[in-house]
Amino acid sequence: MRLLSRVAERLYWMARYLERAEDTARLLRSHTHLIMDIPSGSEPSWEVLLQTLDAEEGFSRNHRVANETNVLRFLMADLENLSSIARSIQAARENVRTTRDVLPAEVWEHVNELYHYSREHSASSVGRRNRHRFLEQVIGRCQMINGLIMTTLCRDHTNRFVRIGHLLERADMTTRVLDVGIGTLMNEERNPSTTDPLVWASVLSSLSALETYRRTVGPLVEGAEAVDFIFRDGTLPRSLKFCLNGIREELAPMQNNTAAMKVIDRARRSLSRFDPHKAGRLDMHRFIDKFQANLLALGTEINVAWFLTEQA
């Protein structure tokens, strides 16, 4: 099946925004839980969320204090914030609106409903009382849309670009979730042994990977093992390795893929060389930075090869 470059681009961004909305919701949910688990006075800051989502600059434009309410409102409901849940959902909807003719009708219906839900509830769900319910709804509805796509879309170019969008954004968000964990631990100076497992369990659970970790690795959550699992377990759908392999699989049969494949293979090599057991927290942080730079480069190559319209 043929697919217009413009439509491919919009499908790809629809998927990225949906994934971003879901993953941000996961991140906020697990961070909220983490903060409740750690004795008051020594909780990690809310600011760390802004750091990992690269949202400090946008935040400081309109806010002075990075307290719970301000940070959560900014990340959940602020439509001016390009990485807020509400804004991501809005952007996803805009992209579906103009690609309805290649997607099953229900995809539009559900994305539209998600948009109306978020518009109505995001601002009133910033407080802890309603927050959980809102985040659960966003995650659940995004999963429903993903499931719908997975079970109805032909495995053609349409599906290919949706999948690439999801995987690329997910890989990026997974590194950010890890960065929150690492950032939290780096910022604190107390006895690490008591909070470490809590933080890593929180990271794993925000990736829906805690149970799998226990079964695959063991019941005790330990930093290097957790990082290794999230980075390099090829069977875990939110691991970096899984995402890269998936994107590679989709790009391999495409024409014009040389540059993009090069970046993927570079990222895969550096991932296989990185050993979390030997790395300190700072090394991990640096690795994540480098990995994110590779994802960014991959996005650029995809854009040049299949979306930018200078083919004539």
Partner 1 sequence: MKSSWNTYDTGPFFDELITPAGTPRVAARRAVNLFKEMTNEEMNARRSAAELAIIDMGISFTVYSEGENIDRAWPFDMIPRIITGKDWAKVSRGLAQRTRALNAFIDDIYNQQRILKDGIVPAETVLESGNYKAQCAGMSPRYGAWAHICGTDLVRDKDGRFYVLEDNLRVPSGVSYMLENREITKRVLPELFENYSVQPVDDYPSRLFSTLASLSPRDRRRPCVVVLTPGIYNSAYFEHSFLARGMGAELVEGSDMFVDDDDCLYMRTVDGPERVDVVYRRIDDDFLDPEVFREDSTLGVPGIMRAWKAGNVAIANAPGSGVADDKVVYAFVPDMIRYYLNEKPAIRSVKTYLCMIEKDREYVLNNLEKLVVKPANESGGYGLMVGPHSTSKQRDKFSRLIQENPRNYIAQPTLSLSTAPTYIGDTVAPRHLDLRPFILSGKETWVTPGGLTRVALVEGSLVVNSSQGGGSKDTWIVEGSR
**Residues binding partner 1 (CB under 8 A):** 2-6, 8, 97-98, 100-101, 105, 108-109, 157, 161, 254-256, 306, 309, 311-312
DSSP state, 102?
Answer: G
DSSP state, 303?
Answer: I
Least separation in angstroms between residue 154's CB and partner 1 is 13
Least separation in angstroms between residue 98's CB and partner 1 is 5
Nearer to partner 1, 224 or 254 (CB): 254
Nearer to partner 1, 72 or 251 (CB): 251
**CA-wise closest residue to 139 among 172, 117, 161:** 117
**CA-wise closest residue to 252 among 170, 164, 178:** 164
From the CA atom positions of the chain, what is the Rg in Å? Answer: 19
C-alpha 2/C-alpha 226 separation (Å) is: 42
Least separation in angstroms between residue 115's CB and partner 1 is 13
Least separation in angstroms between residue 164's CB and partner 1 is 11
Q: Which residues have CB under 8 Å from 34's CB, separation 6+?
A: 44, 184, 198, 199, 202
Nearer to partner 1, 44 or 246 (CB): 246
Nearer to partner 1, 93 or 170 (CB): 93
Nearer to partner 1, 4 or 220 (CB): 4
Q: Which whole-number Å values give the CA distances from 205 to 21, 197, 210, 220, 267, in the listed order?
A: 17, 12, 5, 14, 25
C-alpha 86/C-alpha 288 separation (Å) is: 26
Question: What three-state secondary structure class fits 217?
Answer: coil
Structure tokens at 125: 């769900």
Nearer to partner 1, 13 or 306 (CB): 306
Other CB atoms within a 10 A radius of the CB of residue 93 amount to 21
Direct distance between the N- and C-terminal alpha carbons of the chain, in angstroms, rounded to an integer? 21
Nearer to partner 1, 13 or 287 (CB): 13
CA dihedral 217, 222, 227, 229 (to 10 degrees): 0
Least separation in angstroms between residue 2's CB and partner 1 is 5
Least separation in angstroms between residue 105's CB and partner 1 is 8
Least separation in angstroms between residue 152's CB and partner 1 is 15
